[in-house]
Amino acid sequence: MRPGRIGNRLLAALPLADFDLLAPELETVALDPEAVLSRPGNRIEHVFFPDSGAISLMTDMANGQTVATAVIGREGAIGTLSVLGPSASAITAVVRAIGSASRIPASRFHAAFNRSPALRHAVQSHIRAMLVQFQTGAACNALHPVQARMARWLLHFHDRIDRDVLPLTHESLSQILGVQRTTVTLLMRNLRTSGAIKSDRRGQIEVDRSRLEAAACECHSNMRIEVEESFSMNTARSGVFSCAGDAVDETGNAM
Which domains does the chain carry? 1-116 (2.60.120.10)
Q: What span, in angstroms and rounded, lies between the C-alpha atoms of 239 and 233?
A: 10
Instruction: Say whether pLDDT at 253 is over 60.
Output: no
Region of residue 162 (phi > 0: left; psi between -120 and 50: alpha; otherwise: beta):
left
pLDDT surpassing 60 at residue 122 = yes
pLDDT reported for residue 199? 80
Residue 44 phi/psi, 5° resolution? -80, 110
With bands split at pLDDT 50, 70 and 90, how would you rate the model's confidence at 249? very low
- Residue 246 has a pLDDT of 43
* Distance in angstroms (rounded) separating the CA atoms of residues 254 and 244: 12
Cα distances (angstroms) measured from residue 106 to each of 26, 87, 249? 11, 11, 30
DSSP-derived pairing of the beta strands 99-105 and 197-201: unpaired
d(CA 62, CA 42): 17
Greater pLDDT, 254 or 105:
105
Torsion of CA 81, 132, 215, 65, to 10 degrees: 50
Residue 5, pLDDT score = 74
Q: Assess whether pLDDT exceeds 60 at residue 124.
A: yes
pLDDT recorded at residue 233: 65
Q: So what's the pLDDT on residue 231?
A: 66
Count Cα atoms within 13 angstroms, Cβ side, for 15: 20
Residues 6+ apart with CB under 8 A from 42: 88, 89
Confidence at residue 202, expressed as pLDDT on a 0 to 100 scale: 81
| Percent of the chain's residues with pLDDT above 70 | 89
For range 139-150, the mean pLDDT: 96
Predicted confidence at residue 238, as pLDDT, reads 55
Assign residue 39 a region: left if phi > 0, alpha if psi is -120 to 50, beta otherwise? beta
Task: Summarize pLDDT for 36-80 with one digit per residue, the tens.
Answer: 999 998 999 999 999 999 999 999 998 989 999 999 999 999 999
Output the DSSP codes for the chain. ---S----HHHHTS-HHHHHHHGGG-EEEEE-TT-EEE-TTSB--EEEEESSSEEEEEEE-TTS-EEEEEEE-TT--BSGGGGGSS-B--SEEEEEE-EEEEEEEHHHHHHHHHH-HHHHHHHHHHHHHHHHHHHHHHHHHHHS-HHHHHHHHHHHHHHHH-SSEE---HHHHHHHHTS-HHHHHHHHHHHHHHTSEEEEETTEEEE-HHHHHHHS-THHHHHHHHHHHHHHHHHHHHHHHHHHHHHHHHHT---
Cβ atoms 52, 74 nearer than 8 A: yes
Predicted confidence (pLDDT) per residue in 161-194, tens digit: 989 999 999 999 999 999 999 999 999 999 999 9
Confidence of residue 248 (pLDDT cuts 50, 70, 90): very low
